[in-house]
Structure 1
Amino acid sequence: MFDFRLRVFYTVAKRLNFTKAAEALYITQPAVTKHIKEIENYFKVKLFDRNGTKIKLTPAGETLLHYAEQLFAIYQNLEFDLDAFTQRKSGTLRIGASTTAAQYLLPPILAAFHHKFETVKVQLVTGNTELIETALQQKTIDLGIIEGKSRNTVFKYTPFVKDELVLVAKTGHPLAKKSVAKPEDLLKCSFLLREPGSGTLEVIAHALKQSGIKIGDLNVEMQLDSPESIKLYLLNSEALAFLSVYAIFKELKNNECTIIDVKGLTIERQFNFIQAQGDTETLPDFFIKFAINYNFK
């Protein structure tokens, strides 16, 4: 259904590399070049600037990429909605989600899913990554959503959405007065952390280690089992915490808290769907496809 020439442009624009785009599309590099030239000739614009082996989008290329992303999102939603007519769904779907996903990502998706598929009953349970993995192994849930990937080969992973953990303090915190904090500044502050077994805690510990800080070196004021508890505590204390950007949209807008940049420290993670290997249930796959196509605003 997609216009292949536009798909070629989109792939090159995302990778900024003709060779990698050709490999991804299973066509030759001259074929990629030919498709790009045909688009440029049709619109009478230049889409890429070339500097030796490096390329970058021109302003016209940026505009085309913007519209291509919108078109492909429409195509995805169109295919999903039409497929739904031939796949009447009913039954119960048991989802287990790590705390951040359950509190900030899933609610609008579940509401939209229920609006379209009222015959599917969804049950949602919340827990840290360790608990979700255990529940999936014990078959008390059909589908899990966790941060990152464990080393457990009994699970199949499907990427969901990317997230960033940022250092947060209430507005007016002394450390926030610095334009950029140094990693060693963190050792002078009190921290709120998630409980043992939390995927978030594991991601934070790994990132801090890259900056030469062990999680045990931090002055831990308290460990709490949800980002919402941590956030509310933080707003009433001088403690700092690493929180998902999804968790603090409202507080940032209301100027209740602030993000502190730390030199050389970026904490990114991937939320993944997890299923038991060999699972043949169709409802989990159906929901995964719906959630991936959901338009986060």
Structure 2
Amino acid sequence: MRYLLFATLLLSHLLIQAQTLVDKIKKLRYDTEWQQVAAIPLQFSTYHPQGMVKIGEFFYMSSVEIIKRPGNGEPGEGVGHLFKMDSTGKLLAQITLGEGTMYHPGGIDYDGKHIWVPVAEYRPNSQAIIYKIDPHMMQSNEVFRFKEHIGGIIHNTDANTLFGVSWGSRNFYQWKLNTKGQTINTNASPEDLRIINPSFYIDYQDCHYLGKDMVLCSGLQRYSNNNQTIRLGGFDLISLKDYRPIHQTPIRLWSPTGLPMTSNPFWVESIAEKIRAYFVPEDDKASTLFIYDAILKP
């Protein structure tokens, strides 16, 4: 009885936290003030970072090491990585993920027990392996394979489903899980599971489940005119009940080289009356963990 009461109280606390963060995200505006808290250089070869989660004081980041770039109909060669690092940017552990031509990890998610990571070919309309990883043991387990490039995945723990995004996030996919955590509709074709993303202003790079059928995605889009290109980043808060964004916010933050902060991995959490955001927009030697606080207006 005591353990049931503790579990109930813990679940209630997590739901309140999730709702608080969702409510704060809805207060973000185009002119929200972001204050930089820190800029921490990462002390290892990060290659091309993709997704990130924060578990306690540790960060877990997926990345693709490109050995041979894809092109001319060839899938290229590479290695998928999942890194564990501390708050100083020091590498603590790493594992490799993928198989053959599937070496490109995407956006990742943490469900309170496992980190979910998709690893796909580095090209659209291809194939992917979905893994779940024990973050403490840094051990991976393959969950299923799918005949489509999956560039990001989240675990909807309320509906017990997985939600994936395609290359460029133009399409969504959803898979049902049974009580053992096994997918029950992975044999369905991409065409049968495909849900068209109705939003076009950014392509999603990384997504995280916030609870109550809400997912937050970050990303960017390139806009060109007269040989000039502008890169704009942003957040989309999406309802998984109808797969539509309910709050969209441009994030007017750029790295020293001009990349939007939302170019690659991100993480957000609720801090006092603020939102704290973590970004790693740059590759390899330039990779820096930027930390910002959003100052929210009533």
| TM-score (normalised: structure 1) | 0.23
Instruction: From the two aligned structures, give the one with the greater strand fraction.
Output: 2
Quick check: which one's helix share is greater?
1
The higher-RCO structure (CA 8 Å, 6+ apart) is 1
Structure of higher CA gyration radius: 1
TM-score (structure 2 length as normaliser): 0.23
